[in-house]
Every structure is written in structure tokens, then in C-alpha cells.
Amino acid sequence: MKRFREYYRQFEEMPPEEVSLELRARREEEKRRALSRVDPLDLSGAAWHEPPHPEAVNAATFALRRALNAYPDPSGTPIREALAERHGIALDEVVLGHGAGELLRAACAALLRGGGDALVGWPGWQPLPELIEDAGGRAVPVAPTAAEMLAHAGAASRAVLLSSPADPTGAVVARGTLRELCAGVPEEVTVVVDEALGEFDPEGEDAAGLVAELPNLLVVRSFSKAHAMAGLRAGAALGPPGLVARLAPSGGIGAPAQAAALWAVSDRGLEIAARRRAAAAAAHERLAAALAGSPLSALPATVPFAWISSDAEDGPAIAARLAAQQVFVAPGRLWGDERHVRAALREPTAIDRLAGALLGGPG
């Protein structure tokens, strides 16, 4: 009889209250899992972490929808005029290109056509040695000081390449150093400053302002970093007219890139870039405050990334510890440095997470 009853009781449904309890428990478990999940935080890049200002996007979009069937203005005159006026140079001392990288490649090709040495301020923008080798030259890494550079400049030297602010350290080549360097190098040597991060320079320390004064100085700038337009590939070279003319791409740069760059060089665009510089400086202060009193430290800078080292562990150990906490940074070995890592500085929550991850281990 019991078995008979048990057989039919198995067809009884669960009461709604019991079903609700089960569903609620399942939902709680899902919520707990969602809260405990840690999303990866990629801090290995050096591009600005936010999209461009909406007005820049509007300008590019307007250009895209206007007359994309037509060739763009090959000269990019309005942008060049704005840049020339801002840096106190002539119009023919400015050209536009497809980002600072392409302009540096063209500069290497122009300056090292017949071979020769190029002194590279190191650590600097990571692809520079490769660009030099591709152009047929020989890259000679040198500490980015005037004394070191001049000591290494010889008869075979054709160019000196510096990054200011430097990626990855954020170190700025002072104007005094540049003046000394340009005056001290042999006549056939051109000093090239990669100023892709120029908008993050301290006030009055940008190399572009020296182009009018120093005839052997070439400055390459970018709209990728402080203007957050890395995807548009736009940059500018400022220097001797005979040299910069050889760097300009035939046909100029694309119409959307020109439209966004024209907005970027306007007062509004420069104001936005200045805000990003202030945000980057504040990010450095936040990170420094968080790391104070620990063996970890970041080089003081105003760029949107930090060059971090520790007295207690080497760079690969820091990177591995961060990776274990889903925070990914660029290892210093990309620059031949085993002591440091480079971490992009993003919004305050990301900085706090980076600091927490840095301090979470043996640090």
C-alpha cells in the first residue's frame, strides 16, 4: 500500500512557495558569482583610454557623409596654418601625415637613405630601432641626455632620435638639452623629436616651439594620444621645409582625419587636450599616493601611463603578479628593462584597482 501511495505521490508538483525558494536561491547564487567575477583590466596600451570628444567625432562623421567620393585636400592647409601659428613657424615648415609613426618612418628613410648611425634616446618609443634598421641605418641606443648623445655622435651619425615625453618613462627632454644637442651635433645630423605625447609636456617645454629657432630640429607630433584619435591616423611633422616636404604622404591624409584634426587644433580641441593632461597628472598623483610607503614606485610624469618598479621584485614578477589578478601591463623587457613595467593610467577606479593589485602581493 505504501509503495502504491509513493508511486502516485511522485507525480505531485512542488508548491509555488517551494519553487520560488529554489529560484531565489539560484538567483542569489548567480548574483554571487557575477559579483565575484573579475573582468580583465588591460593596461598594456599607451593610447588614451576614452573615445575622442564628441565634437571631434561629429567633425569626422560630417566629412565622412559629405563627399567621400572626392579626394581630400592634399595640402591640409587649414590645419597646417593653425599649427604654424601656434608654434610660430612658417606654413612650409609643417606637413601632415598618417600618424607620428608613419612620419617617423618617412623621416628615417629620408635621413638614413645612405646608411649611417642614428642615436636613439633610450628607453623611447619602442618601434624606433626597427624603423631605423628598416631604413638602412644602425640604431645606437643612448641615454637621452645631451652629454651622452654628443659623446656618441660621430662621423657616421646621421640622426638623433628622441622621444619626449618618452614612452615608457614619461621623461621630458628639456628645451635646454635640445638647444645644446642641436648646437653640438655635426652639421649633417638632424635631431628628430618624437613628440607624439607632446600635449602632455609641462607648459613651455615642448620641442615644437624650438623649430623656428633650431634649423636641424625635426619634431613629429600626433593626434593619437591627447586627442584620442589613434584610429584616424593623423600626425604632423614640423621642421626644415626641405626635409618635411619629403615626409608628406602623396595625396595627404583622409578627409575624416583632416576634419577631426582641424577640430583638435582649435581652441576647443586644445582645451580638451589640456584637460586630459590634467587628468593624467592627477592619475599619477593618485597612484603615487597609493604606493607611498611601499617598495613600489612610479616615475613622476604627466603622461597617461606609469613606469613602475619595485625594490622587492623585478619587472616580470610584478607583471606576473598583476596578471594573476587580471591586470595586464606592458613588460619592461620590450625596452630591454627587466626592472620595470608600464601601466596605462585610466579612470580613478582603474588606478585604484591597479594600485590594489600592485600592493596585494609581496610588492
Antiparallel, parallel or unpaired: β 117-121 and 217-222: unpaired
Min CB(19)–another protein separation in Å: 5
**Closest to another protein by CB, 20 or 50:** 20
**Beta carbon nearer to another protein, 18 or 188:** 18
Q: Which CB atom, from 12 or from 187, has the smaller least distance to another protein?
A: 12
Grid cell listed for 349: 577606479
Q: Which of 307, 303, 334, 322 is nearest to 361 (CA)?
A: 322
Under the binding rule (CB under 8 A), the answer on residue 38 touching another protein is no
Which segment (8-16, 72-80, 119-127, 240-248) binds another protein by CB under 8 A? 8-16
Minimum CB separation of residue 8 from another protein in Å reads 5
DSSP classification of residue 14:
P
- Judged by beta carbon, residue 13 or residue 267, the one nearer another protein is 13
Which of 1, 2, 7, 114 binds another protein (CB under 8 A)? It is 7
Question: Which residue's CB is nearer to another protein, number 6 or number 203?
Answer: 6
> Please, what is the minimum distance in Å from the beta carbon of residue 34 to another protein?
20
Could you give the C-alpha distances from 355 to 97, 157, 245, 288, 339, in angstroms and in order? 38, 43, 46, 9, 18
φ, ψ for residue 220 (rounded to 5)?
-115, 125
> In the bound complex, what is the minimum distance in angstroms from residue 13's beta carbon to another protein?
5
- Judged by CB under 8 A, the stretch of 3-11, 143-151, 235-243, 334-342 that binds another protein is 3-11
**Binding of another protein at residue 21 (CB under 8 A)?**
no
Q: 208: closest CA among 258, 173, 245?
A: 173
Residues 6+ apart with CB under 8 A from 125: 104, 163, 166, 167, 194, 196
Interface with another protein by CB under 8 A: which range of 11-19, 72-80, 141-149, 312-320?
A: 11-19
Least Å distance, CB 1 to another protein, is 15
DSSP 98: S
Q: Applying CB under 8 A, does 17 fall inside the site for another protein?
A: no
Query: Of 13 and 203, which CB lies nearer to another protein in the complex structure?
Result: 13
Note whether 267 binds another protein by CB under 8 A.
no
Does position 13 interact with another protein (CB under 8 A)? The reply is: yes
Report yes or no: 105 and 129 within 8 Å, Cβ to Cβ. Answer: no
Determine if 4 is a binding residue for another protein (CB under 8 A).
no
- Environment class of residue 316 by beta-carbon count within 10 Å: exposed (0-12), middle (13-18) or buried (19+)? middle
Cβ-contact 284, 301 below 8 angstroms: yes
Among 104, 144, 102, 101, smallest CA distance to 120 is for 144
| Binding interface with another protein (CB under 8 A) | 7-14, 19
